[in-house]
């Protein structure tokens, strides 16, 4: 029976894993059709090597479609390498794995430890502050009379629209039309928007904060891949307050922070179905299902 490994991607680590797959020699070489890579945006497709382009599904699976998705794409195992803050995607994948009795592994990049030695910002306040959720920003009024740089993506920007008249807000977003549209709709002036794909070099990050005279930065606990360690060092150097949003707590049934473990999971399951796919057309199967694109 033909089955596929579903790799939930869109992160740097998922790109690294996919790039390493062909390096395992003839016995472990994956037939492309045995692997399905999903990303939520068209821009994320460019993360992956060109030879895997035909195996990438772009979009978001709506809740009523998820069981059909598993059936129509013949999913046999799930490897979740989504962003640490993509909790809804992970919860959906866990529920699917449990309902269909599919092997599931969550790879989540290691978290950065809190600074061993904190600093004071230019107003004498603690320089590193951890917040349990985004709502704490406005409920505890961290934003008034500040020059705040948001490095949290675009999805939550509508919540900051009421604060445009109470605080000087700046935002760094992905270079995509939807992200830019969200920033503009939330009231960010064009000269307060920077569209760049992270991570930024420490030098560019520092220069940006200095150019905008930033007094505090709101960031996610995204780990080294999100530049979290660089932000801590720059904030301490410049006397900037760093407001860090904690990761969502998700009860993953099986989890690792070692990319080699995730790679072995991919090899173990996807290669089981390679022989069944060797006679399948290499570039025709993905476009036949009713979900792409969304």
Specify whether 135 is located in the same domain as 157: yes
Asked, for residue 120, whether it belongs to a domain, the answer is: no
Domain carrying residue 39: 4-110+250-288
Cis peptide before 252 (omega within 30 of 0): no
Asked, for residue 118, whether it belongs to a domain, the answer is: no
Domain count, the chain: 2
- Spell out, as residue ranges, where the chain has pLDDT lower than 70: 1, 22-31, 278-294
In this structure, what DSSP letter does residue 36 have? E
Specify whether 138 is located in the same domain as 240: yes
At residue 100's C-alpha, the angle toward residues 62 and 30, to 5°, is 90
Cis peptide before 199 (omega within 30 of 0): yes
Specify whether 222 is located in the same domain as 282: no
- Check residue 290 and give its pLDDT: 43
Asked, for residue 115, whether it belongs to a domain, the answer is: no
Specify whether 177 is located in the same domain as 281: no
- Check residue 46 and give its pLDDT: 84
Query: Tens digit of pLDDT for each residue in 256-268?
Result: 999 999 999 998 8
Specify whether 142 is located in the same domain as 239: yes
- Check residue 281 and give its pLDDT: 52
- Check residue 283 and give its pLDDT: 46
Specify whether 133 is located in the same domain as 233: yes
Asked, for residue 122, whether it belongs to a domain, the answer is: no
Give me the sign of the Cα torsion angle 39, 44, 49, 53.
positive
């Amino acid at each position: 029976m033909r089955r596929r490994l579903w790799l939930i991607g869109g992160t740097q680590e998922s790109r690294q894993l996919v790039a390493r797959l062909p390096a395992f020699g003839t016995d472990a070489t994956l037939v492309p059709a045995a692997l399905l890579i999903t990303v939520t945006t068209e821009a994320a497709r460019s993360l992956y090597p060109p030879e895997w382009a035909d195996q990438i599904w772009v979009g978001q699976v709506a809740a009523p479609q998820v069981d059909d998705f598993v059936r129509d794409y013949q999913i046999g195992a799930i490897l979740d390498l989504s962003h640490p803050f993509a909790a809804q995607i992970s919860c959906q994948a866990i529920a699917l794995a449990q309902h269909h009795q599919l092997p599931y592994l969550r790879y989540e990049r290691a978290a950065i430890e809190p600074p061993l030695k904190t600093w004071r910002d230019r107003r004498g306040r603690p320089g590193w502050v951890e917040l349990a959720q985004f709502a704490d920003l406005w409920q505890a009024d961290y934003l008034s009379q500040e020059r705040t740089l948001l490095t949290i993506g675009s999805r939550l920007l509508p919540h900051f629209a009421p604060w445009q008249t109470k605080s000087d807000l700046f935002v760094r977003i992905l270079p995509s039309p939807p992200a830019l549209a969200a920033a503009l709709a939330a009231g960010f002036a064009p000269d307060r928007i920077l569209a760049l794909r992270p991570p930024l070099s420490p030098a560019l990050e520092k220069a940006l904060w200095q150019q905008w005279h930033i007094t505090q930065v709101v960031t996610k606990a995204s780990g080294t891949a999100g530049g979290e360690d660089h932000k801590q060092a720059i904030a301490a150097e410049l006397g900037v307050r760093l407001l860090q949003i904690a990761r969502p707590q998700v009860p993953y049934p099986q989890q690792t922070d070692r990319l080699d473990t995730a790679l072995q999971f991919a090899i173990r399951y996807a290669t089981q179905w390679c022989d069944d796919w060797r006679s399948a057309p290499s570039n025709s199967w993905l476009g036949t299902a009713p979900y792409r694109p969304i």
